[in-house]
Amino acid sequence: MFDELSAKLNATLQKLTGRGVLTEEAVKEGLREIRRILLEADVSFDLTRDFLERVQAKAVGVTQLKDVRPGHQLVKIVYDELVAMLGEKQAPIAHATVPPTIILLVGLQGSGKTTTAGKLAKRLKQEQKAPFLVAADVYRPAAIEQLQTLGRQVDVGVYGDTGSQDVVKIVKQGIVEAGKARGRTVLVDTAGRLQIDEEMMNELRKLKSALSPHEILLVADGMTGQDAVRIAKGFHDALGITGVILTKMDGDARGGAALSIYGVTHAPIKYIGVGERLEALEPFYPDRLAGRILQQGDILSLVEKAQGAVDEKEAERLAKKVTSKKGLDLTDFLGAMKQMQKMGPLKNVLGMLPGVNPAMLQAAKLDDKKLKHVEAIVLSMTPKERSNPDLINGQRRLRIAKGSGRTVQEVNTLLSQFKQMQKVMKTVGKTGGMGLKLPFGRGPFPG
């Protein structure tokens, strides 16, 4: 996400951070390059122009503060303006004071509306908002069955009626069924079209008039760039959308849609889809995303991911074992690795660390499949071998390699790096992590 934009923007800003004084000509030169980068990222021309005018007005004449070079001040100015462009602050779902909260999900066909309904239901369930799904797409074949399948996966109620074409009647009955199921948040999956047309808009206007929804969220494909912005404007003009969910953002290296939608519609981006899994829906924080773009990291989101994935009791047990005489064994390592996998693809997790840029991640050649290889090797060991890797001689290594479908060399590399890790973890226990340098190696351990 934003890899291309981030790499180019930071390369340009680094040229300016070393200057002692920012002259007007130096700022203009840098801004011309930023203009080109934003336009290449598919940000609209008008928004790019306004963004650069604001940056230039703040940047020209900036003098050196104590311990802060003018170039670094320029980075802060660009960061602030990026935050403003992305929507300034996080906009949560507006829940009704008296349930149920009714949320209409609207958008074109193929934008991922139905899948997003399932993802949002999962997130709202975790937030104790008791979601209930209503299938209002009566035109697309198997749309109701798809929503019912997602409902079973998330373990939430779903209402659909294959015998009716009256969407207002269907949704009203769905709200009644939600009440019976004690649902507090009703998510309505509406029908889409291949393009905006009057028939679709009239149906959505009828739903809006009949239901008075608390939220009308547009689900838009983030990879379509300026098309997503045009679609958002069309829906906003017709319905007055209250927010946007951008899907497929994990495949968008440019980010033009995210940087343009708020400026064009003033409807905040509330969530972004960053993968196919039902967990891959993140709240949209403009300040955190601006930090990611400028490679300042996103520690808050990383901590939240960890809190959701890591079992606290297990973490405490592992922490105690690190400081024990025996230390961690391979069973402990496998458990910790599985918890780490719950946080999502390794590239996404490491991308939230400050100073980690797209080039570094590409050079590291991260491959989540290698974690599966490690898992297969460890599971091919006996409990005694996992507890005491020193038992694993040449014959045992050959058996483990055959059992896991990997090579003896991979087994040897894993055992060697595990011994390195044990030494490191003992150092952590003695020093509390002060002065620790982790060994970065090739092989199954992806850095």
Residue 425 has pLDDT above 80, yes or no: no
Residue 447 has pLDDT above 50, yes or no: no
| Cα-based distances in Å from 233 to 45, 94, 242, 330 | 16, 21, 12, 54
> What is the C-alpha separation between 421 and 416, in angstroms, rounded?
9
**Do the beta carbons of residue 170 and residue 134 sit within 8 Å?**
yes
Residue 185 has pLDDT above 60, yes or no: yes
SS3 109: coil
Q: Given pLDDT bands bounded at 50, 70 and 90, which one contains residue 372? A: confident
Residue 66 has pLDDT above 60, yes or no: no
Q: Which residues contact 4 (CB under 8 A, 6 or more apart)?
A: 41, 253, 254, 358
Residue 319 has pLDDT above 70, yes or no: no
> What is the C-alpha separation between 393 and 174, in angstroms, rounded?
63
> What is the C-alpha separation between 182 and 176, in angstroms, rounded?
10
Task: Concatenate the DSSP letters of all residues of 232-264 into one string.
Answer: HHHHHHHH---EEEEE-GGG-SS-HHHHHHHHH
| Cα-based distances in Å from 207 to 105, 191, 219 | 11, 11, 17
Cα angle: 74, vertex 76, 78; to 5 degrees: 70
Of the candidates 167, 106, 102, which has an alpha carbon nearest to the alpha carbon of residue 138? 167
Residue 356 has pLDDT above 70, yes or no: no
Residue 297 has pLDDT above 70, yes or no: no
Q: Which range is least confidently modeled, 120-134, 153-167, 194-208, 306-320?
A: 306-320
Q: What is the pLDDT of residue 443?
A: 35
Q: What is the pLDDT of residue 61?
A: 60
Which tops the pLDDT comparison, 135 or 368?
Answer: 135
18, two tokens = 């070393």
Q: Given pLDDT bands bounded at 50, 70 and 90, which one contains residue 132? A: very high
Q: Given pLDDT bands bounded at 50, 70 and 90, which one contains residue 62? A: low
Each residue's pLDDT tens digit, 169-184? 999 999 999 999 999 9
Residue 441 has pLDDT above 50, yes or no: no
**Do the beta carbons of residue 316 and residue 346 sit within 8 Å?**
no
Residues 118-132 have a mean pLDDT of: 95
Residue 246 pairs in a beta bridge with: 220, 272
**Do the beta carbons of residue 428 and residue 436 sit within 8 Å?**
yes
Residue 163: phi and psi, rounded to 5, are -95, 5
The single-letter DSSP state of residue 390 is G
> What is the C-alpha separation between 135 and 189, in angstroms, rounded?
5
**Do the beta carbons of residue 208 and residue 239 sit within 8 Å?**
yes
Residue 104 pairs in a beta bridge with: 188, 216
Q: Which range is least confidently modeled, 76-85, 278-287, 366-375?
A: 366-375
Q: What is the pLDDT of residue 67?
A: 42
> What is the C-alpha separation between 6 and 358, in angstroms, rounded?
8
Q: Given pLDDT bands bounded at 50, 70 and 90, which one contains residue 439? A: very low
Residues 352-369 have a mean pLDDT of: 57
Q: Given pLDDT bands bounded at 50, 70 and 90, which one contains residue 331? A: confident
> What is the C-alpha separation between 147 and 117, in angstroms, rounded?
8
Which amino acid is located at 132 in the chain? F
379, two tokens = 């599971």
Which range has the top average pLDDT, 84-93, 120-129, 360-369?
120-129
Q: What is the pLDDT of residue 68?
A: 47
Q: Which range is least confidently modeled, 225-239, 384-398, 413-427?
A: 413-427
The CB density around residue 362, as the number of other CB atoms within 10 Å, is 12
Domains and CATH numbers, the chain: 3-86 (1.20.120.140), 101-296 (3.40.50.300), 302-431 (1.10.260.30)
Asked if omega into 100 is within 30° of 0 (cis), the reply is yes
> What is the C-alpha separation between 240 and 384, in angstroms, rounded?
64
Q: What is the pLDDT of residue 135?
A: 94
pTM for the complete prediction? 0.68
**Do the beta carbons of residue 104 and residue 215 sit within 8 Å?**
yes
Residues making up the chain, counted from first to last: 447
403, two tokens = 């059992």
The interaxial angle of helices 24-40 and 3-17, nearest 10 deg, is 170
**Do the beta carbons of residue 361 and residue 412 sit within 8 Å?**
no
Which tops the pLDDT comparison, 297 or 247?
Answer: 247
> What is the C-alpha separation between 111 and 209, in angstroms, rounded?
24
CA atoms 349, 352, 353, 356: torsion sign = positive
